[in-house]
Structure 1
Amino acid sequence: MSRLPLATALTLCIPVTLSACQQHDASPTVASIDEQTFHASGYPLMLHYDASLIALDGQASSYFDNGDWQLADGTAGERLITLQLPESDDVTTALWRLGASRDPAAVEGCLTLPANAQPMASKAEIAGQTFTGFTLDDAGMSHFQNVEGYRAVVDGACYAIDLIVQGTNGEVYDPPREAPFPREDAMNRLRSINDGVSFPRE
């Protein structure tokens, strides 16, 4: 049996080895995202959100807020879901709250801003719908609350989205305590939840 010279054999093997390496390096890496999906009962609305967020049961009331379906409102409605940033503690809490109502009074006054709220300079678009936005800041007795709210009437229902960062001044503790996150960072993270809202059409 004839044998190939050693140099020739090495030359033939090298392209095969390099080709195998190059193919391996080009393989795509797929990153999975852990999400939860919320379907609103009685309303054509869905929400996809990061599974690290905590879905709260019951009303998340505070010094300034009773935890109802929307901020500072006495009309009838349903609190659909409240999500909390996982780092929240008793110093500072960050909440994303969604409520809705078909009550005639709630729908009629849906776009009316709460007392002392400041309107946003432009409308906001969430899930392809135009929302009226506002900000509202309050403070007192070492407590604070920063709110960014969005309101829209969609297919005869009032939808309310409230982004809330609230808590106490850490300096009142002995020893003083630090907040788990900067307020603006928390608000930015809450804003990103808006991207998961959708109004599916059958």
Structure 2
Amino acid sequence: MSLFRYLLPLPLLALLPFANATAADKSFVGGGGIVRLSYASSLTPTRNFAGRALMNRGWRQMWDGAPVGRGVGIVRFWEVARPTNGQGQVTELIQVGFSRSADVVATCGTAGLVSGSARRLPNRMLGGHRWTVYTNGDAGMSQQVNATNWRSVINGACYAIDRVTYAVKAAAPASRNAPTQAVAAARMDAILATIKVGGRR
């Protein structure tokens, strides 16, 4: 997976080509009113934080086998798409979670992120806050996962944003009505660009 889109200025992420520009956006507020974002009306927010073969369940993704820790999943969006390259199907996904546990907050910017495949990216500004950013991934015989992981301590809590691409070559092909991977990825990236945590800015 190309890292190009993760290096774009955030305002441009929402303008990536192939996004569903015709559908009206909806607003989501969660985490006791602390987290706000916008999403395409074709998507459905969920609090199902189930895992997969190469992806742990829970409120944040961990890439070194460490426990996920105490925390709360706020929202997850996902969409099954037709892969740009290869066969099977790909799921584009974004999730947001947080924790007020002192142990989690103390290692918010590193826990579970420093794996063998990790790459540290420059800090990024999102919603008026500075975030620590890593890329991570894993692969099996027929599955591959790539992720960009955002972490920040805001008002004494550890917030986690995980932007994930999960490809399964051995899966049945995505339906004819499924979007292309480019469309699904752009919708998730557009959500990322709108995320705001804390007071209104």
TM-score by length of 2: 0.71
Alignment correspondent of 2:189: 191
Which residue, out of 95, 98, 108, partners 2:106?
A: 108
In structure 2, what is the equivalent of residue 160 of structure 1?
160
Whole-angstrom CA distance in 2 between matches of 1:75 and 1:200: 22
CA contact (8 A) 1:142 1:168 kept: yes
Gapped regions of structure 1 (runs ≥ 5): 1-30
The offset of 1:187, in angstroms, is 4.1
CA contact (8 A) 1:54 1:86 kept: no
Q: How does 1:94-173 map to 2 (within 5 A)?
A: 94-112=92-110, 113-116=113-116, 117-120=118-121, 122-169=122-169, 172=170
Q: Distance in 2 between matches of 1:137 and 1:186?
A: 19
Determine if contact 1:70/1:162 at 8 Å carries over to the other structure. Answer: yes
| 1:3-152 correspondence to structure 2 within 5 Å | 34-42=24-32, 44-72=34-62, 73-85=67-79, 87=81, 91-112=89-110, 113-116=113-116, 117-120=118-121, 122-152=122-152
Question: Aligned equivalents of 2:137 and 2:145: distance in 1?
Answer: 6
1:55-97 Cα deviation digits (max 9, x unpaired): 2342232111122100014210001000113647972111110
- 2:191 match: secondary structure: helix
Q: For residue 165 of structure 1, report the CA deviation from its aligned partner.
A: 0.8
Whether the 8 Å CA contact 1:35–1:51 is kept in 2: the answer is yes
Distance 2:47 2:31 in 1: 15
Contact 2:94/2:164 (<8 A) preserved: yes
Whether the 8 Å CA contact 1:92–1:180 is kept in 2: the answer is no
Partner secondary structure for residue 48 of structure 2: coil
Report the aligned-residue RMSD: 2.8
Separation in 2, partners of 1:185, 1:145: 18
Contact 1:83-1:95 at 8 Å conserved across structures: yes
Contact 2:78 2:92 in 1 (8 A): yes
Question: Normalising by structure 1, what TM-score?
Answer: 0.71
Aligned length: 166
C-alpha distance 180-37 of structure 1, shift in aligned 2 (>3 A): closer
Q: Percent identity?
A: 27
Alpha-carbon distance change, 91 to 103 in structure 1, aligned in 2, over 3 angstroms: same
Q: CA deviation at 1:33?
A: 5.8
* Structure with greater helix percent: 1
Larger radius of gyration: 1
Counterparts of 2:96 and 2:42 in 1: how far apart (Å)?
18
| Contact map agreement 1:99 1:160 (CA 8 A) in 2 | yes
Q: CA deviation at 1:192?
A: 2.1
